[in-house]
């Protein structure tokens, strides 16, 4: 006789709360692997003991099979099911006499993540089972057996549960932060993340194998790295770095990941235009946190892009001060990637390479014929173990490449000026656990510059990638006859003139006649000039043991227009000694003008489902009107969608104060993010923290 299965209760709210997925939903079953969950269903025939036979089955993906781990049959009595790694037992609180049974089901800690169907057969003679419903299975950083297990609860809250964060930008001397709404628990984001996995090329070519491989965070993180960019698949974001963003949004427009991911889905899995490194990384952080892989956004300042894998970056200057483009190598003011936490048993029998792994979705170079990068163990980068997978040589060069400077002359010849083994890889930064402080994690990636250990690791890395010896020939590290430096006289602020001075000093006993070229260029953050701002040529005498000071004045009226799609200003000085034709000296300084002040604050009770107000203030700092102004405000858990206010003209000295009502719908630490745009200034950002206190016994209003 078969049991008749009646009403099913997946205990969504109770299970999801226990599995820390209730912020995603309490109306569908979302659980984490390696941790038990409860399923209750009615039994309409209790004429014999229910534990005689209950056979359950879970399946995920197309063509599920037990051999691939995408199908499992298990049941009661406890342990039946052909050696299945899924387990079930009758829950202690189950009341059989009341006509229902509650089962305690546990998935293995290495089960593939994704959507499963769950069914039950109540008789050995039954040909098909009765459906109990569907469940989503995620990675579990709380489970010691899961490869993504993160031991500290405070870190799990930061790297899995936190919906907001900070991304560091600027340059090594001008580090600024921008708030970012990851929004991994917004209603539809988990489905978008699974859709992203389903349309990846590996899944499209062999779906059964791909669904099986989703048990492995190494595989999943690599797939996500490829799918965030759209270079060779139906990825989320199209990158663009030339300053022309027709048909899309400037990368600096985005304040969070949710709008990007929703646009991708709405576009039929066609790429959203446009992204750059911090957008790629932040969106990837959202996807990994949503799937349950602990991760954080990391910024590397003076980040090398080594295209020929020789761990050396070639810089070229012309003898008149301009930086011509001679090499595909470059040094970016900053580059942003993701660190994901996982074990690496594929590299070591022990835990040698476990922990943080670099995964970088920005499409810089191909890895096994696909634009993706990582996971590369941070511990391997620190030790110079560049012969390990994945993409360790590329990341090692980003943080520790040597930089060789060449002078290019008018006849096309070039001269090796000097090498710099220090400047690449500065102030590697991430947000602190539990606060908005910046943490410098450079020591995780390399030993202190100037130490024997750092050079020993670099030399070992060079040997491991088989670099020819001649790469280090002709490099000059001797003390120069003329020392130079560029010094700020005023803090560079966008909207105001910039004043600096070039100071030269000679350690010779003779007077020197110098030809001095001072060049100012607007730079993209990738280290590529976008436009010429100004240049100045002087011939002056430098007396022995005396400073020669040359003022450098850069008016806003000259540089302002050229900075709209640029990150920084590079001021360089090239000095040629007329008395020593072989002597050429170079110095440069990167400036990142500070944006005009934008402020935002939250006014109100800071209670869930209670109306609050966001107040945004901006004052025009220019001696002219600002045209086509608009302010946007976003915040996961606070606003269901972005709010926007437009103003056609903000007069000279006029202050704009905007108040926008909102109703927070999710408790906990949240962040309001504001953006200001106009014709003269682009994407000025501000943020404020809000802690929303939960309320009980209140029916939540409907939201998307």
Please give the positions annotated as active site: 277, 335, 360
| List of residues 6+ apart from 605 with CB closer than 8 A | 612
Q: How far are the Cα atoms of 143, 586, 634, 651 from residue 176, in angstroms, in the given order? A: 36, 27, 20, 28
Q: What is the C-alpha separation between 545 and 507, in angstroms, rounded?
A: 6
d(CA 189, CA 290): 8
Complete DSSP assignment for 97-118: GGTEEEEEEE--TTPPPEEEEE
Q: Has 454 been labeled as part of a binding site?
A: yes
Q: Which residues contact 94 (CB under 8 A, 6 or more apart)?
A: 40, 100, 101, 102, 103
Closest CA to 440 of 450, 426, 454, 451: 426
What backbone torsions phi and psi does residue 238 show, to the nearest 5 degrees?
-95, 130
Beta bridge pairs of residue 350: none
C-alpha 688/C-alpha 704 separation (Å) is 24
Closest by CA position to 322, among listed 81, 528, 105, 627: 528
Write the Ramachandran bin of 636: left for phi over 0, alpha for psi from -120 to 50, otherwise beta: beta
Report the chain's terminal Cα–Cα distance, integer Å.
46
Check whether 644 is labelled as a binding-site residue.
Answer: no
Q: What SS3 string covers 386-450? A: CCCCCCHHHHHHHHHCEEEEEEECCCCCEEEEEEECCCCCEEEEEECCCCCCEEECHHHHCCCCC
In 77-207 the beta strands, taken as DSSP E runs, fall at 87-90, 100-106, 114-121, 130-138, 164-171, 174-181
State phi, psi for 205 to the nearest 5 degrees.
-85, -35
> How many distinct helices (H) and strands (E) make up the chain?
13, 36
Whole-Å CA distances, 58 to 64, 106, 128, 138: 9, 11, 13, 15
Phi, psi angles (nearest 5°) of residue 381: -65, -45
The encoded tokens of residue 495 equal 């909207």
Q: Is 187 annotated as belonging to a binding site?
A: no
Strand partners, 175: 170
Q: Which residues contact 32 (CB under 8 A, 6 or more apart)?
A: 19, 20, 21, 137, 138, 139, 140, 142, 143, 146, 292
Beta partners for residue 572, in sequence order: 519, 588
Q: Name the packing angle between helices 452-464 and 392-400 (round to 10°).
A: 150
Q: How far is CA 444 from the centre of its chain?
A: 18
Known binding residue 615? Answer is no
Residues 6+ away with beta carbon under 8 Å from 395: 337, 358, 360, 373, 374, 376, 381
Query: E strands of 524-625, at which residues?
Result: 529-542, 547-554, 568-577, 584-591, 598-603, 612-619
- Residue ranges of the annotated binding site are 400, 402, 449, 454
Q: Which residues are known binding-site members for Ca(2+)?
A: 400, 402, 449, 454
């Amino acid at each position: 006789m078969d049991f008749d299965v009646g009403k099913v209760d997946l205990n969504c709210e109770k299970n999801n709360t226990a599995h820390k997925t209730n912020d995603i939903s309490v109306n569908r079953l979302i659980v984490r692997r390696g941790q038990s969950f409860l399923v209750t269903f009615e039994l309409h025939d209790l004429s014999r003991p229910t534990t005689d036979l209950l056979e359950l089955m879970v399946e995920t993906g197309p063509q599920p099979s037990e051999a691939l781990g995408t199908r499992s049959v298990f049941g009661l009595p406890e342990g039946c099911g052909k050696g299945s790694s899924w387990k079930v037992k009758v829950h202690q609180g189950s009341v059989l006499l009341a006509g229902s049974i509650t089962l305690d089901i546990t998935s293995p800690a290495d089960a593939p993540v994704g959507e499963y169907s769950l069914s039950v057969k109540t008789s050995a003679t039954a040909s098909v089972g009765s459906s109990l419903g569907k469940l989503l299975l995620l990675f579990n950083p709380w489970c010691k057996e899961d490869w993504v297990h993160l031991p500290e609860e405070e870190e799990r809250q930061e790297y899995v549960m936190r919906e907001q964060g900070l991304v560091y930008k600027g340059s090594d001397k001008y580090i600024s932060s921008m708030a970012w709404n990851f929004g991994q628990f917004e209603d539809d984001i988990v489905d978008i993340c699974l859709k992203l996995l389903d349309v990846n090329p590996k899944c499209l070519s062999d779906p059964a194998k791909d669904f099986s491989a989703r048990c492995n965070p190494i595989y999943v993180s690599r797939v996500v790295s490829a799918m965030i960019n759209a270079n060779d698949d139906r990825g989320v974001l199209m990158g663009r770095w030339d300053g022309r963003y027709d048909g899309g949004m400037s990368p600096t427009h985005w304040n969070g990941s949710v709008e990007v991911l929703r646009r991708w889905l709405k576009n039929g899995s066609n790429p959203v235009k446009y992204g750059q490194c911090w957008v790629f990384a932040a969106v990837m952080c959202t996807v990994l946190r949503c799937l349950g892989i602990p991760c954080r956004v990391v910024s590397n300042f003076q980040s090398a892009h080594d295209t020929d894998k020789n761990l050396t970056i070639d810089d070229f200057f012309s003898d008149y001060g301009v930086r011509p483009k001679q090499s595909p190598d470059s040094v970016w003011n900053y580059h942003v990637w993701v660190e994901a936490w996982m074990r690496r048993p594929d590299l070591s029998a022990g835990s040698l390479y476990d922990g943080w792994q670099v995964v970088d979705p920005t499409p810089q170079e191909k890895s096994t014929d696909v634009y993706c990068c990582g996971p590369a163990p941070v511990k391997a980068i620190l030790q110079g173990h560049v012969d390990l997978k994945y993409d360790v040589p590329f990341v090692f060069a980003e943080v520790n490449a040597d930089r060789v400077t060449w002078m290019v002359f008018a006849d096309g010849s070039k001269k090796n000026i000097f090498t710099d083994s220090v400047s690449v890889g500065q102030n590697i930064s991430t947000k602190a656990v539990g606060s908005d402080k910046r943490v410098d994690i450079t020591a995780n990636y390399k030993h202190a510059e100037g130490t024997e250990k750092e050079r020993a690791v670099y030399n070992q890395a060079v040997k491991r990638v088989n670099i020819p010896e001649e790469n280090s020939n002709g490099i000059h590290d001797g003390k120069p006859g003329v020392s130079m430096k560029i010094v700020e006289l005023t803090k560079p602020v966008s909207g105001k003139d910039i004043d600096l001075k070039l100071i030269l000093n000679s350690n010779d006993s003779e007077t020197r006649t110098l030809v001095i070229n001072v060049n100012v260029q607007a730079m993209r953050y990738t280290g590529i000039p976008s436009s010429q701002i100004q240049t100045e040529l002087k011939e002056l005498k430098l007396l022995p043991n005396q400073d020669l000071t040359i003022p450098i004045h850069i008016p806003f009226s000259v540089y302002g227009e050229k900075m709209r799609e640029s990150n920084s200003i590079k001021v360089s000085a090239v000095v040629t000694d007329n008395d020593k034709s072989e002597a050429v000296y170079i110095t440069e300084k990167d400036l990142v003008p500070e944006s005009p002040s934008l402020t935002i604050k939250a006014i109100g009770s800071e209670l869930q489902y209670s109306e609050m107000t966001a107040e945004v203030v901006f004052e025009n700092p220019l001696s002219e009107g600002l045209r086509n102004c608009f302010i946007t405000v976003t915040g996961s858990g606070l606003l269901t969608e972005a709010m926007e206010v437009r103003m056609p003209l903000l007069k000279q000295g006029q202050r704009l104060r905007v108040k926008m009502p909102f109703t927070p719908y999710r408790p906990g630490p949240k962040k309001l993010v504001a953006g200001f745009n106009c014709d003269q200034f682009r994407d000025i950002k501000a943020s404020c923290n809000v802690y929303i206190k939960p309320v009980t016994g209140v029916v939540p209003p409907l939201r998307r």
